[in-house]
Structure 1
Amino acid sequence: MALVIIREEGADRLTLGHLATRAGVSKPIAYEHFTTRSGLLTALYKLLDEQHVQALQEALTSTHRTMQDTADVLATAYVRCSLDMGGEWHAVRAALAGNEEMGVVQQELLAGYVQLFHATLAPHSSLPPAALYRCCVGLVGAGEALSVLMLSGQCSELEAASTFSSLIQGSLSSPPHR
């Protein structure tokens, strides 16, 4: 129901009281479960992130591929996941901006994406592990930025995915970093 509220009315309308009303439960139930609006938004953000990671992992489960195939699958799946979420993930994150607890959550989730990218790309990279890690941090940021660009209508899904794939491939084929 929380996602429906965000989709239909915007993240600013998502309060515990409004969620309780729309879900047909008493307000104390919503407050007992989430305690605060930030708690609700954080739980929702983690749920959306979990779905995003699961979809990425499913896309990457097929047999080992070439670097280009791996980059294409990773980029396409990342961009597709962002599109499938329809911007709710970014709306929830924006609603939590400035929340101290959210900073910790974002770092935790970022580390998960970096780890996933690192594990996926390591077989195709000659970069030392620390350099590949830094590269993956940048790639996750690039994927986010391209997703925002696509969701705002400034590029197509295909353009975002192909640009992201090119960035992935370029970062893996560049000379080793210190």
Structure 2
Amino acid sequence: MVKMPTKQKTDGRRAAARLSKAERRAQLLITALAVVREEGTDRLSLGHLAERAGVSKPVAYDHFGDRSGLLIALYKWIDTERMNTFRNGLLSRNPARADAIEELATAYVGCAVDTSGEFHAVGAALAGSDEKADVLQELLDQAVAMFVAVLGPHCKLPPGELERRSIGLVGAGEALSMAVLRGTRSKADVTGTFSSMIAGCI
């Protein structure tokens, strides 16, 4: 789960002088997430973000360029954060093979069919943008990397073969998840099928 920003106790302009560019970008993204949660995506403009973060408008524009750039950055950041949280949590626990596969299938399908969270809301706001297709491919590539990281300790496949199979698994996961979203298959059935496919591939 992505952490919500804590209330700033110092003036935003003075805080800006103490943050690196990477730290400032992270602070702006956390604040943008808070805006989406509390006020909705329609309120997420660079001007409003700057006001909420306690920085000048040029700072926000310097990081994201325009509203579309902000939405894309936030969309990628939310997905990266939740993938990293899941992967790192799973790897730190070092579960048995069967448990790792089941958790991976459950988490992937669960995220793909969740239409109530901020990720879906920001994605809907990006609908029709020219950049969204490229962003989605980048997120799929991240998902493949996560599958490789999670499944690697539980199989003896060469790295290249594991990556190719992970590409196929991510594609299958997307197709199965779409069946849930269309209402033609249940989430439980799809998750069970996906777990079996993962086990069979490694």
Residue 138 of structure 1 corresponds to 172
- In 1, distance between residues paired with 2:145 and 2:167? 8
Query: Are 2:68 and 1:34 equivalent residues in the alignment?
Result: no
Deviating more after overlay: 71-80 vs 104-113: 71-80
SS of the residue aligned with 2:48? helix
CA–CA distance in 2 between the matches of 1:163 and 1:109? 25
Tell me the TM-score normalised to structure 2 length: 0.63
Contact preservation (8 Å) 2:72, 2:132: yes
Q: Rate the CA distance shift 1:9–1:82 in 2: closer, same or farther, 3 A.
A: farther
Give 1:165 deviation, angstroms: 3.7
Is contact 2:64–2:70 with CA below 8 Å preserved after alignment?
A: yes
Q: 1:105 aligns with which of 119, 126, 135?
A: 135
CA deviation after TM superposition for structure 1 residue 135, in Å: 2.9
Any residues of structure 2 matched to 1:72-87 within 5 Å, and which?
72-78=102-108, 87=117
Q: CA deviation at 1:35?
A: 1.1
Say if 1:48 and 1:92 are closer, same or farther in 2 by CA, change over 3 A: same
TM-score calculated relative to the size of structure 1: 0.70
% identical aligned pairs: 40
Q: 1:166 is matched with which residue?
A: 192
Residue 54 of structure 1: how far off its partner (Å) = 0.9
> Which structure exhibits the higher relative contact order, with contacts defined as CA atoms closer than 8 Å and separated by 6 or more residues?
1
Query: Structure 2 counterpart of 1:168, which letter?
Result: F
Deviation at 1:167, TM superposition (A): 2.5
Letter in 2 for 1:13: R
- Give deviations 1:65-103, integer Å, cap 9, x for gaps: 233x122222444477789xx611111111112222221
CA distance in 2, matches of 1:42, 1:108: 11
Of 66, 88, 95, the residue aligned with 2:118 is: 88
Quote the offset at 1:64 in angstroms: 5.3
CA gap of 1:15–1:64, structure 2 versus 1, over 3 A, is same
1:119-175 Cα shifts (integer Å, max 9, x gaps): 53464699x7655532332214545876x79xxxx9xxxx95x5554132232466x
**Matched-pair contact (CA < 8 Å) for 1:75–1:164:** no
Q: State the SS of the aligned residue for 1:25.
A: coil
Please tell me the residue identity of whatever aligns with 2:55.
V
Equivalents in 1 of 2:118, 2:167: separation in Å?
Answer: 28
Check 1:20–1:125 CA distance in 2 against 1; reply closer, same or farther (3 A cut).
Answer: same
C-alpha change, 1:14 and 1:108, in structure 2 (3 Å) is same
Between the two proteins, the alignment pairs up a number of residues equal to: 163
Distance in 2, matches of 1:168 and 1:56, equals 17
In 2 relative to 1, CA 73–37 (structure 1 residues): closer, same or farther, beyond 3 Å? same
Instruction: Determine if contact 1:96/1:102 at 8 Å carries over to the other structure.
Output: yes
Structure 1: 5+ residue stretches without partners: none
